[in-house]
């Protein structure tokens, strides 16, 4: 009976994970999960015996004592892209995670970063690039070099920085290299009328992405299992390219989730039948007294 109870609990957990995935089927950048089971302890009824004179030995006799939760694995494959047309929406074509943080400008944080694949960004009143829940996007600075024709060429540098688009700027765009550009409309700016790079979106790569821990709000944090992030701009060191005007949708596979839901339901049902059968056997045992 207690073995069956362990089956009820683990199948309920499997159903909980499936329900969470289904509820996030339309969550931007969401990563689904997979539940695995392990057998629990076994009661040794008789030990194994080696071969002897005239006998071939015998195997151990063990009775299982139920099931336990093995793991809840994060499935990190990319979701499908969705075209939005909004300039500050960003899709990562390939590997990498956006780096964001709760911060107070102008100081740039050096620790306590969060990571996300949800690229539905916007700007605040000061022009800082932020996530939908107000976290600042921490990128890399842009180095401007005169091009000899009165303009500038831009390249990313190694300095962590906020990405700030001056209010009133127009034609904001995000390039495949992560560069966030705009046309300067400040009448007193030396780059008025020119396309300026505000900064570059930085991304992190992890030795074990599945080891990241969920924090809610489409955010993840590093763990001892994931390892430390290797931070670079888009298209560098294994990072994917950034595509503006698109978002990464959830990677939840409905067909798989419904199949898993049926499996969890049948597993729960089978274990409940074991409990009811055990109860009937106990009832028969008690009725022997009559």
Per-residue pLDDT tens for 151-164?
899 999 999 999 99
Give pLDDT, residue 235: 92
Give pLDDT, residue 59: 87
Q: Compare 185 and 63 and report the one with higher pLDDT.
A: 185
Domain map (residue ranges) of the chain: 2-45+59-76+254-287, 81-248
Please state the rounded mean pLDDT for residues 217-234. 96
Rounded Cα gap, residues 35 and 264, in angstroms? 10
Give pLDDT, residue 53: 84
Give pLDDT, residue 237: 87
pLDDT at 289 over 80: no
Residue 278 makes CB contacts below 8 A (sequence gap 6+) with: 1, 4
Give pLDDT, residue 46: 87
Give pLDDT, residue 29: 96
Give pLDDT, residue 56: 84
Rounded Cα gap, residues 136 and 130, in angstroms? 4
pLDDT at 149 over 90: no
Please state the rounded mean pLDDT for residues 180-193. 94
Q: pLDDT (tens digit, 9 = 90+) per residue, 211-220? A: 999 999 999 9
Q: Of 56-60, 92-96, 192-196, 197-201, where does mean pLDDT reach its minimum?
A: 56-60
pLDDT at 183 over 80: yes
Please state the rounded mean pLDDT for residues 8-17. 96
Give pLDDT, residue 163: 97
Give pLDDT, residue 111: 92
Give pLDDT, residue 57: 86
pLDDT at 178 over 80: yes
CA angle 213, 217, 220 (to 5 degrees): 25
Give pLDDT, residue 240: 95
Rounded Cα gap, residues 224 and 191, in angstroms? 46
Distances, alpha carbon 136 to alpha carbons 46, 76, 102, 231, in Å: 62, 23, 6, 16
Please state the rounded mean pLDDT for residues 87-100. 96
Number of Cβ within 10 Å of residue 147's Cβ equals 10
Coil, helix or strand for 11? helix
Give pLDDT, residue 234: 95
Q: pLDDT (tens digit, 9 = 90+) per residue, 16-64? A: 999 999 999 999 999 999 999 999 878 888 888 888 888 888 888 888 8
Q: Is the peptide bond before 106 cis (omega within 30 degrees of 0)?
A: yes
Distances, alpha carbon 189 to alpha carbons 13, 37, 52, 124, in Å: 59, 63, 95, 21
Confidence of residue 82 (pLDDT cuts 50, 70, 90): very high
Give pLDDT, residue 202: 95
pTM for the model: 0.87
User: Whole-number mean pLDDT of the chain?
Assistant: 94
Rounded Cα gap, residues 97 and 211, in angstroms? 14
């Amino acid at each position: 009976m207690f073995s069956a109870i362990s089956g009820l609990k683990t199948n309920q957990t499997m159903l909980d994970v499936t329900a969470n995935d289904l509820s996030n089927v339309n969550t931007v950048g969401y990563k689904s999960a997979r539940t695995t089971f392990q057998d629990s302890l076994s009661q040794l009824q008789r030990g194994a015996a080696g071969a002897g004179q005239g006998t071939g030995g015998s195997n151990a006799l063990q009775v299982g004592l139920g099931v336990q939760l093995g793991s809840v694995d994060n499935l990190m494959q990319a979701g499908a892209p969705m075209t939005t047309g909004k300039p500050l929406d960003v899709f990562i074509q390939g590997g990498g995670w956006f780096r964001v943080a709760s911060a107070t400008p102008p100081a740039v944080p050096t620790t306590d970063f969060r990571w996300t694949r949800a690229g539905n960004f916007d700007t605040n009143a000061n022009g800082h690039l932020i996530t939908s829940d107000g976290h600042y996007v921490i990128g890399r600075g842009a180095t401007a070099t005169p091009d000899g024709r009165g303009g500038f060429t831009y390249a990313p540098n190694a300095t962590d920085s906020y990405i700030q688009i001056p209010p009133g700027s127009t034609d904001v765009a995000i390039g495949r290299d992560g560069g966030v550009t705009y046309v300067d409309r400040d009448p007193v700016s030396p780059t008025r009328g020119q396309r300026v790079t505000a900064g570059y979106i930085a991304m992190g790569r992890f030795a074990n992405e599945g080891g990241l821990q969920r924090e809610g709000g489409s955010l993840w944090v590093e763990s001892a299992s994931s390892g430390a992030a290797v931070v670079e701009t888009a298209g560098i060191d294994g990072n994917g390219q950034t595509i503006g005007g698109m978002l990464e949708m959830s990677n939840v596979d409905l067909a798989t989730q419904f199949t898993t839901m049926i499996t969890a339901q049948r597993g729960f049902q089978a274990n409940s039948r074991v409990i009811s059968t055990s109860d009937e056997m106990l009832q028969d045992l008690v009725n022997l007294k009559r």
